Structure 1
Amino acid sequence: MTTEQKNDKGCPEGGMKNRPGDRMMPAVSFTSFILSLNTTALFHLGEIPHPETGQKVFDLELARHAIDTLAMLEEKTKGNLDSEEQDLISRVVYELKMRFIKAKRE
């Protein structure tokens, strides 16, 4: 066993390491995918600033695309999700649609 392997403490639960020195990423799951699309929609609705510039982006077309993608996934996965996953996607789609309507009015 190398020194590097001895010093490697592993990744926290739900994470994985690509290569030594790279950041740890969460495990791929339905929940992480839905939350990623949610973040994308919020970013394009101007609710989350760009991580590097701090500026807010407002692009209703891209926000609508992310929301429509989530709505399509909700429809296509009906009956195939556990109750927590179904609740998550339903809440995310509803909340994003309400935020989109509000953003469109402003």
Structure 2
Amino acid sequence: MSDKSAENKEQQVTPEQQDQVLFMMLVQQHEQIAMMGLGEMENPTTGKKEKDIKAVKYAVDTLTMLEKYTSGNLTDEMTAYLSDTLKKLRLKYVDASKQEG
């Protein structure tokens, strides 16, 4: 076996690994939506930090739904990642809601 084919074999990703990466990216996308809505990250379109509590709620609600519908179907690592992300975002959402109200 040549060095190239050995290297390619090592770099191959299993379908399960690919699904895990895609799942983590989906969670990260919604986390970024929430962080932008909290004004903790710049909006890439405007280059400004803007608050949008509705966007935060959307992201949290979407991740909550994802947690509900994937319950029992994720690895322990993916379950913990989603759960930890949701806990963090829920706390930030509650704090932001209090400041707005």
Category of TM-score, reference length = shorter chain: 0.7 to 0.9
Deviation at 1:49, TM superposition (A): 1.2
- Does 1:82 find its partner at 2:75? yes
TM-score normalised to structure 1 length: 0.70
The structure with more helix, counted as a fraction of residues: 2
Aligned length: 81
What does 1:51-90 correspond to in 2, within 5 Å? 51=44, 53-90=46-83
Change (3 A) 1:52 1:65: closer
Q: Which amino acid aligns with 1:38?
A: E
Could you list the per-position Cα deviations for residues 48-73 of structure 1 after superposition, in whole angstroms to 9, with x for gaps in the alignment? Answer: 01235431111111110111000000
Any idea what SS the aligned residue of 2:50 has? coil
- Aligned-pair RMSD on alpha carbons? 1.8
Q: Which amino acid aligns with 1:44?
A: G
Deviation at 1:45, TM superposition (A): 1.2
Q: Which amino acid aligns with 2:72?
A: G
Q: Which residue pairs with 1:45 in the alignment? A: 38
Q: Which residue pairs with 2:84 in the alignment? A: 91
Any idea what SS the aligned residue of 1:69 has? helix
Provide the identity percentage: 32
TM-score normalised to structure 2 length: 0.73
